[in-house]
Amino acid sequence: MKKTAQIFQALSDETRLRVMKLLQERELCVCELIQVLEMSQPRISRHLSVLKNAGLVNDRREGKWVYYSLKKGAENDDVKPILETISLVANDDSVVRNDNKNLKKAVRLSEIEGCCSSRKRG
Amino acid sequence: MKKTAQIFQALSDETRLRVMKLLQERELCVCELIQVLEMSQPRISRHLSVLKNAGLVNDRREGKWVYYSLKKGAENDDVKPILETISLVANDDSVVRNDNKNLKKAVRLSEIEGCCSSRKRG
DNA sequence: AAAATATATCAATATATCTTTATATATGTA
DNA sequence: TACATATATAAAGATATATTGATATATTTT
């Protein structure tokens, strides 16, 4: 009950919904999210920690970077319909569309010259 | 996007989740919710207005009473997976179980002697 | 019309949440 | 070891949300 409320609470913020939509595309590190969403680092980190505490995302460190991804699997089956709902958030939503455009750009840049100073992507 | 955040926001409160769970059982008037949840009238009314503004519930007046029910239908298909999720909120959750018990008692009373002073149920 | 009941809304206060600025920690590199 | 980069966390102020107590509105009953 409390847990469910917490999950909804985590998703009740537009920034965090945008993060969830982006993570549906691919795993992303914090610095990529900063680029795509054009927000300050502490702000992004804080939102990510809310999502993490709600059990909606996973994080793993790889060198200097921390990668976030949607949490999937058995332990999280009750979250599936919620993720479906987020999927339904219109992809024709202008904000989401723009985020996806920025994401492609960020990934392209990171492949050419590395984003966030000098990272190369696997 | 904003709309979706609003829906999640509406569901991010334990009291409102309890209301949604109860409305999954049956349409209920405010005074019944007051009895079942054992909360003040303004408090319940306020929460109901949040759910209504998010498009999650419908209200209809019948005499002195205002009945609330889950909003269903085409206009609300994007809410379906959310309602599924609420269904998943364990029925073995002690709070939910107790609410359902109170609901049965309230309905029984209302059939015998009318709840909220002297209402008789259809 | 007056009284009673059911519900909604408002004003005030308490509490939680978000954002920013500053600082801490972790990792890699010179 | 010192420095730079990536991320996390904390303190402070701004904003939003929840609760309570008082009052307003709608409807029925007398």
Any idea of the CA torsion for B73, B74, B79, B81, to the nearest 10 degrees? 90
How many whole angstroms separate alpha carbon B45 and alpha carbon B63?
17
Quote the pLDDT of residue B122.
44
Distances (CA, A) of B91 to B54, B86, B88: 24, 10, 8
- Poorest-confidence range of B3-7, B36-40, B90-94? B90-94
Instruction: Give the long-range contacts of residues A109-115, CB within 8 A, separation 24 or more.
Output: A110/A32, A115/A31, A115/A32, A115/A35
Residue A37 counted as domain residue: yes
The answer to the question of residue A84 being in a domain is: yes
In whole angstroms, give the CA distance from residue B116 to residue A8: 33
Check A17 against B9: CB less than 8 A apart.
no
In DSSP terms, which residues pair with B62 in a beta bridge? B65
Whole-number pLDDT of residue A75: 63
Higher pLDDT, A65 or B109: A65
pLDDT, one tens digit for every residue, chain A (122 residues): 889 999 999 999 999 999 999 999 999 999 999 999 999 999 999 999 999 999 999 999 999 999 999 998 656 677 788 888 888 777 778 999 999 999 998 877 666 555 565 554 44
Q: How distant is the Cα of B50 from the closest Cα of chain A, in angstroms? A: 13
Task: Specify if B66 maps to a domain.
Answer: yes
Higher pLDDT, B82 or B10: B10
Give the pLDDT of residue A114: 55
CB atoms within 10 A of CB A79: 22
Range of the domain at A87: 2-112
Q: Share the mean pLDDT of chain B.
A: 87
**B107 alpha carbon, distance to own chain's centre:** 14
Residue A119 located in a structural domain: no
CA distance A119 to A108: 12
Q: Tell me the CATH number at A91.
A: 1.10.10.10
**Main-chain phi, psi angles of A57, to 5 degrees:** -135, 160
Alpha-carbon distance of A23 to A28, in angstroms, equals: 7
Residue A10 placed within a domain:
yes
In chain B, the number of structural domains is 1
Residue B75 lies in a domain: yes
**Alpha-helical regions (H) of chain B:** 2-10, 14-25, 30-37, 41-53, 80-88, 94-112
Residue A88 within any structural domain of the chain? yes
Q: How much of chain B, in percent, has pLDDT values that exceed 70? A: 84
Residues of B contacting chain A (CB within 8 angstroms): 1-2, 4-6, 8-9, 11-14, 17-18, 78, 81-82, 84-86, 88-90, 93, 95-96
Evaluate whether residue B21 is within a structural domain.
yes
CA of A13 to C1' of D15 (A): 14
Interface mutation target, options B2, B6, B7, B8, chain A, most CBs of A under 10 Å: B8
Q: SS3 for A66?
A: strand
